[in-house]
Amino acid sequence: MRPQRKAGSGAARFLAPTVNSYKLHLAAVKSLVPDKVVPRPLDLQVSKGLTKDIAGDALRINPAKPENRLAALSGTRLAHSPALAFVGDLAGLEHAMLPPPAACGAVMGDLGPQSYRVHPRRLTQSAGAPGSQSNTSHVTAGDVITASALGFPCGGRSHDDYAALPERLDLDRSDSYQCFRRNCVSKHSPAGGRRGLEECPLLERVEKLRLLNLQHNRISCMRNLEHLRWLVFLDLHDNRISHLYGVSTLTSLRVLMLGKNRIQRICGLEKLTNLDVLDLHCNEIPRIENLSHLSELRVLNLAGNRISRVEGLRGLGSLAELNLRRNVISGVAEVDRLPCLRRLFLSSNCIGSFDDLACLGESGSLCELTLDGNPVAQETWYRQAALRCVPHLRTLDMKRITEEERRMACVLARKEDEKKRETHKQAVHKEKRRLAIRNAAQQWEELKACLDLPTQNGVKEEVSSEGSPTHSTAHTNGLAQDPSPDEPRRVSPLSAPDCPPGGSENRLRSSSRPNSPRDPRLSEAGGTSVQSLSLSDSHLAELDGETLRLFGPGALEALERGWGVQTAGAVTTIAFRYISFDAIIPTLPRIRVKFPNLAHLVFLETNISRLPQLAALAQVKRLDQLTIHPEGNPVVGLALWRSFLLYRLHHFNLQKLNGVEVTMNDVIAAERLFGTLGHVATTKTPRCRLLLLLEESRKRQLQFLLEGRGRRAGPTPEEDGRQLGEGLSRALFNYPVRDPSGDGQEEGAVDASRRAELVQRYLCGLVQWAADTSIKGEALHKLWPSMFVEMVRDCVLDMRDRPAFRQASLSRLTHTK
């Protein structure tokens, strides 16, 4: 493009105006969606009228006045119009374009929505070109350095004023002829004569010049400025300057405006220590650097650059306003090193969270902040959160902070803190809970290993007593009470530590998947409603809504504690895990009393291994659902367990067993299998024996019947059994509760042995006696015949002398009288 531009002086510019106009027309239409920045200085040669029209139609730019033709021709005004800009595109050269050129802000790459707003207080040393007002329209509120901030008196001066002030020179969209006519410019580049300055004019007799306005030109290099020692204000807005070297000697400079240039690096400002305002917006600066000596700097505008981090701000002790809009900032640092910073503009950046803004909170002076157009601003409660981050803020995103918002922020902050604390507490509790469950599981495994070991030993002994060495140990393993295939691995105490805790946890979790969604099971993850009742390092009792979960034997004590009527009434499900069933049994009757609405019991890892154990569940008296999980409960491996349970708990009228609906068929099948057993048990067991087997009230019932039978005299034992009712047959199958106190057992044993001794002695005596009697009888039996003969002989001898016998008998009679 550039070569073209340079070559294109003179006649070339006027070539084929018609064609160009066509192109322009098209371009104008396209320009409504300007997405490419195409400064086309070359195109300025196009006929002005056309250009003007197009510009007027398409962009609603103030049309250039006819008499100001030269100014228009100079190109700075119109060159920036998108319509013209796109001519280059049509010429097929669009890709050769440089980034944001000096041409015009309206078509700048960083066109923001605000670009079309005119800031009323814009500081412009306008040259009075008719289009100038419209040209300024790209300058946005954020980009503008307000007059108040600058402290300079300024205003839209008329074009003609400048000559009267030797301290001031406006070369805005410079018309070189005018400049010449005013004799203020001794020399002007020939090229710039028609379409704006291409380089700084060498100004003579203006050493005292304090204010120089060169905005909207095409200056690419700051030269010829070295001698302007008194220059205080230099405006090079909207040019093509690519580096800052030319200003390094202007030590008096207080205001330096370099917006809309092509500067890629901040440097060469070392001697400008008086700098008060530095405007570098819309350049290509990737980093904030080399500014730390500017201790006087109050306003720094770096909007529209490529800065990704806010840094390098140390030493800017007077900085009050920092504009960093439209960059790619994702992190903010060192802002707290700016003691006077009051206003900070960070709109349209990439700040994703308030964590990136942490240092804002450290700044005590900041009172105005913009953050709109950042991802962080999308958050709900964004304003409040921002306020919490920067408490002194008075204005956020150009809106005043209200008291309400401030209060809200306070509340929010408190809430957040609470939440954090709560989360922490929950996390701690969760961890504790996890540990407790894990320990309970571990203890359970150990216990089971202990339990299994004696069994195996017993089997081994028994096997060896058979005397067959071929009974392998592998065989005895097979006899271990658990049919589950992975049991040996889990039982083995060696393999337990090998298993990573997470893994085992997962396994448990996966195994505790509910069969049906409605079926409340033990879930590893406690919900929010979980209320922990009792927690130690090896047991856990918790209430989750209507489900009471107990892990580890220690948790059973939670059942004993005082329960509120309401709480206890709410419990409908109790789940046991890692607790031996035999240890649970004593609590079952109490459970029924304590939890009146209990309808579902879940047993997981409770080592229910035999059918008789199931009979103990009858003590719960009423249940709708029962779940005996296969894991850790070998009984579920038996084919008959379901039938037996249904038979034994027939009066419960169970609705669901292990999540499967109980049907009438099931009940009848169960009766078919076990009915005989019950019948035999009821009718054949000796009455006296029944008395011992039954519980109190049934015993009374039976006694009553027995006594009644005595009175009625008659019915056979079978009928009697029938009268006792079928419930009796089931009630006979009880699982004996082992007396936990060893003393009682010992006492009982002592008692029993003493009794056995007594009985032995008593029976021995009886036998002795009976044997003696038998011997005596036998002896008598043997002696009797001879005795009888002797007696007869004696009698006969006595009675041989009858009178003497009579005499003797009579005398005996009288004697006895």
Partner 1 sequence: MNFDRFALTAEEFIAETNVLFYLNDAVTQLLEHKEEYIQFGVARYFAEYFSSVKNGNHVLFREFSYVKATPHNRASFLRIFWRCFRQIGKNGDLLAVLEYCSLLQLICPDYPPEMVQSAAKIVLIDDAMDCLVSFSDFLYAFQIQFYYGEFLESVSVIYQDLLSGKSPNTVIVPTSTSVEHLVSAVEDEASQEGVDSTLFTQCIMGLCERFKHSHPSPAAIRDILENTQRVSFYGFLIAMARNEKISQEIGALPSKSDLLIDPEMDQELERLIAQISISPTSNSSGSAAGLREPPRKASPRKSLHPRKRIEMESDGSTEETDSSEN
Chain residues 570-609 in contact with partner 1, contact rule CB under 8 A: 586, 588-590, 592-593, 609
C-beta of 178 vs 682, nearer to partner 1? 682
Among 632, 634, 645, 720, binds partner 1 (CB under 8 A): 634
Selected binder of partner 1 within 148, 510, 665, 786 (CB under 8 A): 665
706 binds partner 1 (CB under 8 A): yes
Cβ atoms of 362 and 383 within 8 Å: the answer is: no
> Using CA of residue 416, residue 420, residue 421, residue 422, what is the dihedral sign?
positive
Return the number of the residue (603 or 733) whose C-beta is nearest partner 1: 733
Strand 255-257, strand 233-235: pairing: parallel
Cβ neighbours for 558, distance < 8 A, ≥ 6 positions apart: 533, 534, 541, 548, 550
CB of 545 to partner 1, least distance (A): 26
Binding of partner 1 by 741 (CB under 8 A): no
> Quick one: 385 or 608, whose CB is closer to partner 1?
608
Judging by beta carbons within 10 Å of its beta carbon (0-12, 13-18, 19+), is residue 776 exposed, middle or buried?
Answer: exposed
CA atoms within 13 A on the CB side of 8: 18
For the CB of residue 492, give the shortest distance to partner 1 in the complex, in Å: 19
| Residue matched to tokens 């009982």 | 748
Whole-number Å distance between alpha carbons of 269 and 250: 9
The whole-angstrom separation of Cα 174 and Cα 84 is 19
352 vs 586, which CB is nearer to partner 1?
Answer: 586
Which of these ranges, 50-58, 115-123, 393-401, 616-624, lies near partner 1 under the rule CB under 8 A?
616-624
Q: Does 678 bind partner 1 (CB under 8 A)?
A: yes
* Residue 652 binds partner 1, judged by CB under 8 A: yes
Q: How far apart are CA 641 and CA 306, in angstroms?
A: 76
Binding to partner 1 in span 742-761, by CB under 8 A:
752, 755-756, 758-760
**What is the spatial distance between Cα 297 and Cα 275, in angstroms, rounded to a whole number?**
5
Residue of 95, 424, 651, 776 that binds partner 1 (CB under 8 A): 651
* Smallest separation (angstroms) from partner 1 to the CB of 685: 5
CB of 735 to partner 1, least distance (A): 8
26, 500, 539 from 369: Cα distances, Å:
42, 52, 54
**Residue 636, Ramachandran bin (φ over 0: left; ψ between -120 and 50: alpha; else beta):** alpha
18 scored as a contact of partner 1 (CB under 8 A)? no
* Residues 288, 302: Cα–Cα separation, whole Å: 9
With respect to partner 1, which residue has the nearer C-beta, 759 or 787? 759
Least CB distance from residue 494 to partner 1, whole Å?
Answer: 24
- Token duo for residue 394: 């008075």
Question: Looking at beta carbons, which pairs linking 157-164 to residues 24 or more positions away fall under 8 Å?
Answer: 157/125, 157/126, 157/128, 158/128, 159/126, 159/127, 159/128, 159/129, 160/128, 162/127
Q: Kindly report the three-state secondary structure assignment for every residue of 549-597.
A: EEECHHHHHHHHCCCCHHHHHHCCEEEEECCCHHHHHHHHHHHHHHCCC
Site for partner 1 in 419-448 (CB under 8 A): none
Which positions from 460 through 519 interact with partner 1, judged by CB under 8 A? 462, 465-468, 470-471, 475, 478-479, 481, 483
CB of 546 to partner 1, least distance (A): 21
Q: Between 769 and 788, name the residue whose CB sits nearer to partner 1.
A: 769
Residues 711-730 that bind partner 1 (CB under 8 A): 726-727
Region 74-103 residues binding partner 1, contact defined as CB under 8 A = none
Q: Which of 420, 412, 481 is nearest to 451 (CA)?
A: 481
One of 667, 705, 715, 723 touching partner 1 (CB under 8 A) = 667
Residue 57 binding partner 1, by CB under 8 A: no
- Should residue 692 be labelled a site residue for partner 1 when binding is judged by CB under 8 A? yes
Query: Does residue 626 belong to the site contacting partner 1 (CB under 8 A)?
Result: no
The verdict on 780 binding partner 1 (CB under 8 A) reads: no
530 binds partner 1 (CB under 8 A): no
Could you tell me the smallest distance in angstroms from the CB atom of residue 804 to partner 1?
Answer: 46
